[in-house]
Amino acid sequence: MTAQEFKIRFLPLKDKLYRFAMRFLNNREEAEDTVQEIYLKVWEMGEQFNRYKNSEATLMTMVRNRSLDKLKTKKNKASELNEEITGSYQNDPLRGIENSDMVRRVRQLINRLPEQQKTILHLRDVEGMSFDEISGITGFDGNYIRVNLSRARKKIKESLQKAESHELDR
C-alpha cells in the first residue's frame, strides 16, 4: 500500500478514532498517540490489513483495545473541558459557563458508567454508529446493545435531574 493509498483510505477516520480514544483515556496527548500507534500498526501490516472485511470496525476495535491496555498500565486523570466548548460562547459568557458545567457533569456521569455502557453510549451517541456497526466493534448482540444504551441514558438523565433538584433546594 502506498502512502497516498493509506492517506485516502484511513485519514478520514482520524477524528472518529481520536474521539473514541478520548472517551477511554480522557487525555488529548494519549488519545493522539493511540491513534498514531494504530496507524503505524496498520502501516506495518500492509496488505495483510485487507483481509479484514470492515476496516473501520477493525480500527475502532484496535483503538478500543489499545486504550484499555493503556488504562490498565497507567492511571489517567480526567482532562479538563475542551477549550472548544468554553470558546464557543464568547458572546454570552454566562451561557458558556453553564454549558461547560453541564458538559463536565455529563462527562463525569458517563465516566462512572460500567465500561460496556460507556463504550456503547459513545459509539451510538457521539459517533452516530448503527447497532450493527456497534455489534461489529464490541461483539455484543443487538438486544444487549439496546438495553445497555437505554440503561446508560436513563442513569445519566436521573443523575442530572437529581443534581438539579438538589441545587434548587439550596
Confidence class for position 151, pLDDT limits 50, 70, 90: very high
Contact status, residue 38 vs residue 24, Cβ threshold 8 Å: no
Largest CA distance in the chain: 63
In the chain, the number of structural domains is: 2
Q: What is the pLDDT of residues 52-110, one digit of tens each?
A: 888 899 999 999 999 988 887 754 333 333 444 445 555 566 666 666 777 888 888 88
Q: What is the pLDDT of residues 124-144, one digit of tens each?
A: 888 888 888 899 889 999 999
Last residue of a domain, one of 73, 104, 133: 73
Contact status, residue 55 vs residue 49, Cβ threshold 8 Å: yes
Domain residues for 39?
3-73
What is the C-alpha to C-alpha distance for residues 77 and 93, in angstroms, rounded to an integer? 27
Residue 80 lies inside a defined structural domain of this protein: no
Q: What is the CATH number of the domain that holds 128?
A: 1.10.10.10
pLDDT of residue 85: 47
pTM of this prediction? 0.55
What is the C-alpha to C-alpha distance for residues 15 and 12, in angstroms, rounded to an integer? 7
What is the C-alpha to C-alpha distance for residues 169 and 161, in angstroms, rounded to an integer? 12
Residue 34 lies inside a defined structural domain of this protein: yes
Last residue of a domain, one of 26, 45, 73: 73
